[in-house]
Structures are given as structure tokens and as C-alpha cells.
Amino acid sequence: MANARRGEIEAEIEGKRRVLCLTLGALAELEHRLHAADLTELGARFAKGRLSAGDLIALIGAGLRGAGETLSDDEVAALKIEGGVGQWAAIAARLLHASFGQSEDVPPNP
């Protein structure tokens, strides 16, 4: 089960509920893979709302690996999801919001 306080989300991919999280290591991986100088540049790139298929693969792959999966980007690219590319984009948007969104979005600790 995903923990929103840790920036985790859940998504159904290949009929399986999976957790995704952009840990600091996953963000460093994205910076390297997407040739971003820093987190500000990475955030600005994603804020434009224009993601390529390669961006989706890198982002979702990093999120899966950040949550403990061991899938390569080639394996991520081969995964199937109900709803097609629109659903991949929706998962990416949720993951980015969980990582870069406002802290007020996370419910208070009971």
C-alpha cells in the first residue's frame, strides 16, 4: 500500500497493483538519464506538461525502482496498461504531483 507521506502512489500496471516513488536516488537517476543539471531543471521540464514516450518510460521506471522494483527501462517500455498511453501519462502526472506537489496535499499525521 502506498504511503502519501513518503511521496508514494499506487498504480495498476499489467494487472498488478504497484507502488511508485521518486526517491532521491530515483530523482538522481532521472537527472542523469534526461540530462538535467539539477532538480530545478528537472522540475521545469516536467512542469511544461509535454512528456515524450521516453520521458514516461524514464519517469515511471525510476518511480518503480524507487519503490523497490528491479525493472530496466526496456522492461518498463514493454509493460502493458489498461487505458494505453493516456493512463501512462496519468500515472506520471500523479507521481510528479506526489513528488513535487504542495506539502499541504498530504493529510496531517494522526
Q: What is the pLDDT of residues 30-74, one digit of tens each?
A: 999 999 999 999 888 888 878 899 999 999 999 999 999 999 999
Q: What does the pLDDT average to over 87-109?
A: 77
Q: Which helix (H) or strand (E) holds 74?
A: helix 73-78
Name the amino acid, one letter, at 106: V
Q: Is residue 109 part of a domain?
A: no
The pLDDT of residue 78: 96
Contact assessment for residue 14 and residue 80, using Cβ atoms and an 8 Å cutoff: yes
Q: Which helix (H) or strand (E) holds 70?
A: none
Grid cell for residue 108: 496531517
The pLDDT of residue 58: 95
Where in the sequence is the domain holding 80, given as residue range(s)?
10-100
Q: Is residue 108 part of a domain?
A: no
Q: Is residue 110 part of a domain?
A: no
Q: Is residue 1 part of a domain?
A: no
Grid cell for residue 24: 532521491
- Please count the structural domains in the chain: 1
Q: Is residue 3 part of a domain?
A: no
Average pLDDT over all residues of the chain: 88
The pLDDT of residue 69: 95
Q: Is residue 2 part of a domain?
A: no
Q: Is residue 54 part of a domain?
A: yes
Q: Is residue 51 part of a domain?
A: yes
